[in-house]
Structure 1
Amino acid sequence: MITARRTRLVRVPDLHEFRRVISTLSAAPEGPVVPVVIVPTRGAARQLERSIENAPARLLTREQLYDVLHARLPNAPRRLDAFERDSLAQAAAEQAARDVPDLSLRLRPGLVAEMLRFYDELRRHSQSSARFETLIVDALAGAAEGGDRGADRLLQQTRLLAGTFRVYERRLASLGACDEHGLRDLLIARPIAPPVGRVVVATADWIADPDGLCAADFDLLARMPGIEAIDIVCTEAILGSGFYERLHQWWPGIDETDGTRVAGPAPRARPVLLTPPDAPPDRPWFIYRDREEELIAVARRAKPRTAVVFSRPLPYLYLAPAAFGAIGVAFQASDALPLAAEPTAAALDLVLEVAETKFARGAIVALLRSPHFTTAGGSDRTRSPNDSDSGAAVSRTSVNALDKALSDARYLGDLGRLETLAAGWPGSDRDLAAAPALDAALDVCRSLTPLLEPKPASAQIRLVLAFLDDRLRPLADADPFSPRERRGRAAIVSLLAALARAHEAHHDPLWTIDDLASALRRWIGDETFVPETAAPGAIQLLDDRAARFGEFDELAIVGLVEQEWPDLPRANIFYPAAMLRALGWPPEKDRRGAADARFVDLLASAVSRVTVSTFTLDEDALVAASPQLDEIPRAGLSTVTAETEHGGGGSVGLPPPHKASADRRSLGEGCQPDQILDMSGVQDAAAREWAEMRRTRPPADRPAFHGSIGSVAPRTWSVSALETYVGCPFKFFAQHVLKLEEEPDDEEVMDPRRQGRFVHEVFEAFFRTWQAAGYGAIRPDNLDEARTVFERVVDEALDRLPGAEAGLERTRLLGSPAAAGLGEAVFRMEAERPIAVVERLLEHTFEGRFVVATASGTREVALRGKADRVDLLDTGTFRMIDYKLGWPPDRNRALQLPIYSVCAEQRLASYRGKTWLLGEALYLAFKGPKRVVSLFTSPRDRDKVLAKAQQRLADTLDAIERGEFPPAPDDVYRCETCSFASVCRKDYVGDV
């Protein structure tokens, strides 16, 4: 029996009145009945709680409402959780698929999850699975009979979906359990105890609010026994977007009133819109370079009772610690955070990656370095006879040594290969230092090896649980991060245990490691994590749905770019929008109209002021501004420029930003010290300390901020290092002054550096063999002998390489029917030059002091280097050759070939009783249009090229001794492959 009830729509003009009416309805119970207030999200509930602290109302999301109703239903069947429903749906889909002939779909877990989501949407639109099948089949039958393949595939898909839904419902009934939809039927048929007497609906429907109520929910509220009064509170803007008409379809004859009749009259608050100075009237929003710059600007203006409002949370939550923490401003994320953002989730991902990659070097090293895990290592190689412990904690030094050793050993994965390396582990100091980490790596890999064999899903998940239980590092109570880490671990372990139970009870298919990793990442990505209580006065970071329910003096609405404002609805992967409309899906214009209405409401939600901002780059990709920016005039707000506001604002921070170019580089750059901060009246010691640091900080254009470290003592530099300086001074600094090591890469073939060494070794071995055999120059008449000797040398060198890689290098060196190899290019170069070769100096080293000529005269410099090849010719000249696996360098920037030539002339002055002069300098380049590239073309050109190179060398040495190492590459494309990008300050100082 349906209880008689009062159903009322309370219309309010804005969000100020919206919150005031909800607070009034929550705080004025009629008799002993405690009202239930339905809000869209838990973040919205937390915001609303602050304004109705002493009210007796219960604030519930849609999902929480069903939990409460289920708990109050007498003799209620067990309600399946999300993990059980997903397992049940997988079993149902597999059974239904057997009844669909020639099914072209592969039933992956992710696809089944989408099928279950579609089923929920159908039922929430008050559609049954039988009705769904009838509507779709009727719509497609004609086209399919006419030979339309697309329609035929959709029919096949529809039969699979409908069959899955039927089997799912039968299995659910056989378990004597229910889901949300079965619970709704029970709640309409049977009264609950105690009843929910009064309901305040503080959200719209799913069209106007992604977290709003569905058609079936409105039907439940209209028919559920025990409800005496329903008040739905809504702004005029949302009602005008189409919700008013839909509400009257569901609840015809609903009473209407306005907010002042419920909460009494109140003055209407209207914030001002803060705009950039010099901005045109039709562009009242700030434009920044990227999200980081945008958030820094918000931090500069931060005051208490400020909220930062976004549509997509993760990017801002990642950036917030740096933006707010750097200036001592407390912040708090007020909505449930993605569990995937928690450090413990990253730790679990490391475990999965180690197994997925079959124990690749990078994955093993990352897990050993992780602070989340406890690893021990030790063996007879490293343990003292007095050590009673079975192993010592693995140090970072040992892990770094292992990383380098495995990279040098070309280890690409596989436990068998790792065990083979361990059995023959060398005894050098570095390798001994790596031994504890190697033992720990072997222990980890052996523990995770069972994951590589297909097993029932529940067994695979329990293996992961066992690894975490055994390896997660104990948490210290004194660690300030321990409480959050414990909660994160508890959430991860609870999720894995529930998933294992669900699969064991309902559907336990064989899973490979790829299936396991995919499933765990999907579930963790869908879970949220409730943050801790906010500190008093902390800046709130929250999404646009929660912001509607919070009382804030200021709002900073950030990230207004396409794809985020408005947030795109989740697309249905099964049917086009036109076909879904018959099943209750709304047209896109209704969603867009409601999203614009929510945005306009939000603009006027603050008490004093609001700022709106967008950015132009997202991870270095250009993004377009949100079309919702054009809706700002609809809010009817008065404006004030940032400069005017600063005059009387007294904000605890820095002056507002002036332009988007401003300053991610330096907060306060360009301001006089007495303009940076006015801290009068500020009591917080940390804030005063920060302000003093900002006042006394040296200016941003100081040389120390742009790569200058002061004078550097002269020393002997290699010519190749100096050429690195010419390419980029900072790379030289990182590599040769700081001596930072480049991160090794795992490749199935040699990286360019190893490949270059290999090619040099092959040619060195060939020419030594050629000379030892009594040959001189390579001439047209002995080309075949040269090819034969070279092939023999190459084959001997290739024996050291893996089979697949050896084949590639053989083709590169010896060629194929399609193209000549590198050897042929070298031989033809020499055969085309008839001058006899007296001797070849291979990998010839130079070290000592050399005289170079500069514009200010000659000077001595200390150099060292190694020339690839110097051919002494019987004319008394020599030919300098530099092998280049890539393209030859620009001779206006090159140092090695010209400087080696100058050094060779000086060092060979009396060699063999002769004075040798440079006759030719060549690059043998293995890329580019020409294999042989001359450094100069004539004696006059020779003198000019060498003079410029010597001057360039002297200038480079002088800059190094002055300590000038700016991040200034000669070509910005170098930055794309530079190994030191993580320590380079080019983005910070803006020199590039």
Structure 2
Amino acid sequence: KVLAKNGTLPEINRIAVVVPTPLPYLYLAKQVFGQAGIPYQLQDGFPLTTEPYLAAIDLLFDFIEHPTEYSPSFQLLLNPFFEFPGVSEHALVALETELQTRNNIHGNEAWARMRNRSRQQPVQLGIPGLEGHNHSGLVQNVLETIHTLEHTLTPMASPTTPMTTKINGMRDFLTRYERTTSPHDDAPRHNRARGALLTILDQLENVDRVLGESPVEFHTFRKTLHDAVQSHTFSERTGDNGIHIIDARSAALGMFDLVILVGLNEGEWPSRRDHNIFYPQWLLQDFGWPSDFDSLSSERIAFKELIRVSRRHVAVFRHQLEEDAPTISSPFLEDIEDLTAAHTQHIPARAMNALVTSRNHALRSGLVQPDRSVPKRPTPGILKQRLPKPEPVSATAFELYLRCPFKYYAKYILHLDEEDEIHMGFSPLQRGRIVHEILKEGFQQWDATADVPQPYTEENYDQAVSLFRRIAKEKIPRKYHSIELARLFGSHGHVGAIEWVLRQEMTRGPVAKRFVEHPFRTNLRLEYGPNGESPWHVDIKGRVDRVDIDLAGRIHVFDYKTGKAPESKVTLQIPLYAMCLAQDFSAETTQATYLSLRDRKAVRRDDYEKTATQLRETYRLISEGHFPPRPYQDHLCNSCGYIGLCRKEISETALPTEVQEVKPIT
């Protein structure tokens, strides 16, 4: 603004803002210049491992290691970076339905039997959700594709093949099945990641040929490729016009009319040195390590050369506070005064407020022309295109979206496996799965003794506890018996979790029918949909822990939680299940309850209107591609397995969190 007032401001493309280190200055500069409306250009380095294309390659490796398991096969076939002839979303739904019907999830023999059976079966129509499709033909297409992939990729999994053979197998797979265009409509980024991977494969192949092409285990090949990818970075350019934002090393190679140096504080100019804690400085000097004096002299010379990069003007700035603590100015400031003593202009700190630039100031000062469009920054977590309908809707998946939209994107769109936490003992996931199995088998065996479910009373309470305890001993690993049995069945002065559940049952009336681990798929009808359509039918599928039908025909829905009872703003599972089952059974729902086994607390949910609103809004946001890294509680990032992928700490834009209700179109 001072130079503009004097009529000496250079063209905006001849101005450079020089930062001592990329972080945090690059992101701060992008935010400041973006809000002020001043065009800028920079190149930023990113690790190759953050590219979604590389995550798709990981799915290929998972399939090679476990070709006959359910999850790796489906994740590979669903991945948007690959295209398999004859495999569609309908075909995968058909196979999933077949697997659920036959309770066959994986195994060479089971898959082979299904493949042979599907070849012999006649045309079968009328599968729910697949009307008009050849069910057996769809299943056969998927099974044949999996069989072909398994046969094609077998040489890669063999421990007797060299790395060159494994690399050629990867190339053949990519050539045959890779989509010709990026699924995310970002062809340059996709081609850059693909080219980097192929280059790495070429380099590994050359090294292997030099070393003699000896056989390698597949896990060794996978780790070698991972290490090579992790060491690879790529540059992403932002903007092609405006002020240059560059670091000190790059600035020395440019030529500008105005150079603005920021961060002239001790520890940044010069940079803070980390001393070796194992060897003294005098010993390292004997082996060629530079002394502190030599390093400081070298940085001082480079700084003086940096000042001479500008042909006309140099501006320097320092911040006086860092985390509310005063900072110390850089000793290099004295060098600037010595070099430019006759042409130095000092701006008092109290006058800086008048020089802070906004977009209006930039327009008046000529930094930005009114007809010049400012580059629009992409919003983190917002896809450019709409996604297919997220049906059938899974309440568990939608709850994950409510907790963190990006986590939903990573798991259900990119199909990435979350890194599990390492537990020395019994993990919460193991405990939850086993507790659900104990409750399932316990209720089933108790109800199997009579035509209708037996009520739980004081007279048969000990008998019921003995039944559940016997099942628990069979399910829980022996080394955890003492702790886990006490947790479930209590001790002196302590009520166990299953004891509490049975006591809850004693307070309820008789039951005419009980379903445990009940799977369902419902075409739920709501008054209106996310875009105002009326009525709205949405496909919902799930598995409810327990459904009781009382003597009056009313249904009671229960969901067990081994942790604390969930908050209503991020949960819709149990009320949504109740809405679906009430429609399926043509009955009235009188109770939809979370049973928190940890807190010994029953939490009823009858907010069905709020649940419908959550469902509509979540459905709309997912369909429109809204996946910002925005957990509803920040502490969830501490235990998130995708923390290295979302880069939440540099996200610059957040979406509003309020739920916006859509009214029906009239």
Residue 336 (structure 2) aligns with: 635
List aligned pairs for 1:563-578, cutoff 5 A. 577-578=281-282
Write the deviation string for residues 756-803 of structure 1: whole angstroms up to 9, x where unpaired.
Answer: 7886575355335423424733345434432454467679xx9xxxxx
Rate the CA distance shift 1:323–1:588 in 2: closer, same or farther, 3 A: same
Does the CA contact (< 8 Å) of 2:52 and 2:414 recur in 1? no
Residue number in structure 2 paired with 1:586? 290
Name the structure 1 match of 2:595.
924
Tell whether 2:163 aligns with 1:442. no
Q: Aligned to 1:883, which of 539, 553, 560?
A: 560
What percent identity do the matched residue pairs reach? Answer: 20
Q: Secondary structure at the match of 2:595?
A: strand
Q: Structure 2 counterpart of 1:635, which letter?
A: I
Q: C-alpha displacement at 1:888, in angstroms? A: 2.0
The AA in structure 1 aligned to 2:203 is L
Distance 1:830 1:742, change over 3 A: farther
Match of residue 454 from structure 2: 776
Taking the aligned partners of 2:239 and 2:571, their CA distance within structure 1 comes to: 59
Instruction: Write the letter of the residue equivalent to 1:924.
Output: L
The correspondence for 1:606, drawn from 307, 310, 333, is 310
Separation of aligned partners in 2, 1:773 and 1:896:
31
Distance (Å, rounded) in 1 between the aligned partners of 2:466 and 2:614: 49
8 Å Cα contact 1:332/1:538 also seen in 2: no
Structure 1 residues 838 and 817: alpha-carbon distance in aligned structure 2, compared to 1, 3 A threshold: closer
Partner SS state of residue 553, structure 1: strand
Q: Name the SS of the counterpart of 2:456 in structure 1.
A: coil
Tell me, what secondary structure is at the counterpart of 2:299?
helix
Decide which of 653, 656, 663 is 1:988's aligned counterpart. Answer: 653
For the residue of structure 2 that corresponds to 1:463, the secondary structure is helix
- Equivalent of 1:839 in 476, 494, 511: 511
Cross-structure match for 2:254 = 550
- The answer to whether the 8 A contact 2:564-2:596 is kept is yes
Q: State the SS of the aligned residue for 2:256.
A: coil
Q: Is the 8 A contact 2:31 2:652 kept in 1?
A: no
Q: Output the CA distance in 2 between the equivalents of 1:842 and 1:433.
A: 38
Aligned ranges 1:72-91 → 2 under 5 Å: none
Of structures 1 and 2, the one scoring higher in RCO (CA 8 A, sep 6+) is 2
Q: Which residue of 2 aligns with 1:786?
A: 464
Q: Is the 8 A contact 1:867 1:900 kept in 2?
A: no
Residue type of the alignment partner of 2:256 = F
Write the deviation string for residues 197-232 of structure 1: whole angstroms up to 9, x where unpaired: xxxxxxxxxxxxxxxxxxxxxxxxxxxxxxxxxxxx
Task: State the partner residue of 1:763.
Answer: 439
Change beyond 3 A, Cα 1:917–1:424: closer
1:773 alignment partner, SS class: coil
| Aligned residue type for 2:454 | G
Question: Structure 1 residues 468, 983: CA separation in 2 closer, same or farther (over 3 Å shift)?
Answer: closer
Partner residue in 2 for 1:304: 13
Unaligned runs of 5+ in 2: 5-9, 119-134, 181-186, 338-343, 383-392, 527-536, 658-666
Query: 8 Å contact 1:402–1:435 — kept in the other structure?
Result: no
Structure 1: give runs of 5+ residues left out of the alignment. Answer: 1-270, 275-300, 383-393, 616-621, 648-654, 659-667, 683-687, 706-717, 799-805, 851-861, 936-945
Deviations 1:937-971 (A, max 9, x none): xxxxxxxxx9xx77x66567679889998999764
Cα shift at 1:989 = 3.6
SS at 1:924 equivalent:
strand
CA apart distance, 1:602: 2.3
| Contact 2:264/2:333 (8 A) holds in 1 | no
Post-superposition offset of 1:592: 3.7
* Residue correspondence of structure 1 range 960-971 to structure 2 within 5 A: 971=633
What code does the residue aligned with 1:463 have? Answer: T
* 1:838 Cα deviation after fit: 2.5
Deviation at 1:878, TM superposition (A): 11
- Distance change in 2, residues 1:539/1:563 (3 Å): same
Provide closer, same or farther for how the CA distance between residues 782 and 310 of structure 1 changes in structure 2, counting only shifts above 3 A.
same
Deviation for aligned residue 1:586? 2.1
Amino acid at match of 2:498: V
1:304 Cα deviation after fit: 1.9
Q: 1:808-847 residue pairs with structure 2 within 5 A?
A: 816=484, 819-820=487-488, 825-831=497-503, 837-839=509-511, 842=514
Are the counterparts in 2 of residues 306 and 553 from structure 1 also a CA contact under 8 Å?
yes
1:580 Cα deviation (Å)?
1.8
CA RMSD in angstroms, aligned pairs only? 7.7
* Distance (Å, rounded) in 1 between the aligned partners of 2:191 and 2:551: 76
Judged with a 3 Å threshold, the aligned counterparts in structure 2 of structure 1 residues 400 and 569 are, in CA distance, closer, same or farther, namely farther
The alpha-carbon distance between structure 1 residues 566 and 471, as it changes in their structure 2 partners (threshold 3 A), is farther
> CA separation in 2, counterparts of 1:896 and 1:355?
31
Structure 1 residues 320 and 377 mapped into 2: Cα distance closer, same or farther (>3 Å)? Answer: farther
Partner deviation per Cα, 1:707-730 (whole Å, 9 max, x = no partner): xxxxxxxxxxx99799969x9599
Question: How many Å separate the matches in 1 of 2:34 and 2:230?
Answer: 27
Question: Which residue identity does 1:842 align to in structure 2?
Answer: R
Equivalent position of 1:463 in the other structure: 165
Q: In the alignment, does 2:369 pair up with 1:679? A: yes
Question: Does the aligned pair in 2 maintain the 1:560–1:626 contact within 8 Å?
Answer: no
- In structure 2, relative to structure 1, the CA distance for the partners of 1:312 and 1:960 (3 Å cut) is same
Please tell me whether residue 503 in structure 1 is matched to residue 211 in structure 2.
Answer: yes
Give distance in 2, aligned partners of 1:407 and 1:541: 56
- Residues 790-848 of structure 1 deviation map (CA, whole Å, 9 limit, x = unaligned): 467679xx9xxxxxxx6569969x97455435996334554588768422653599999
For 2:299 and 2:595, locate their aligned partners in 1 and report how far apart those are by CA, in whole Å: 63
Cα pair 2:548 2:555 within 8 Å, conserved: yes
Return the offset for 1:548. Answer: 1.8
CA displacement at 1:887 relative to structure 2: 0.4
Aligned partners of 1:893, 1:333: CA distance in 2, in Å? 39
Q: Distance in 2 between matches of 1:537 and 1:482?
A: 24
Give me the whole-angstrom Cα distance separating, in 2, the residues matched to 1:837 and 1:657: 72
SS of corresponding position for 2:311: coil
Q: Do 1:305 and 1:552's aligned partners in 2 also have CA atoms closer than 8 Å?
A: yes
Instruction: Judge conservation of contact 2:53–2:190 (CA < 8 Å) in 1.
Output: no
Residue type at the aligned position of 1:777:
P
Aligned length: 561
Residues 354 and 364, structure 1, Cα contact 8 Å, conserved in 2 = no
Identify if the C-alpha distance between structure 1 residues 340 and 758 changes in structure 2 by more than 3 Å, giving closer, same or farther: closer
Question: Relative to 1, partners in 2 of residues 1:442 and 1:982: Cα closer, same or farther, differing over 3 Å?
Answer: same
Aligned-residue offset at 1:489: 7.5
Q: Structure 2 length as normaliser, TM-score?
A: 0.54
2 CA distance for matches of 1:748 and 1:311? 38
Amino acid at match of 2:488: A
Paired residues of 1:840 and 1:871 also in contact (CA < 8 A): yes
What is the identity, as a one-letter code, of the residue corresponding to 1:445? L
Alignment of 1:721-732 (within 5 A): 728=402
In the TM superposition, residue 591 of structure 1 has moved relative to its aligned partner by 1.5
Pair 1:675–1:406, CA change in 2 (3 A): farther
TM superposition shift of 1:926: 2.4
Question: 2:531 aligns to what?
Answer: none
Given that 1:350 and 1:366 are in contact with CA atoms closer than 8 Å, whether structure 2 keeps it comes out as no
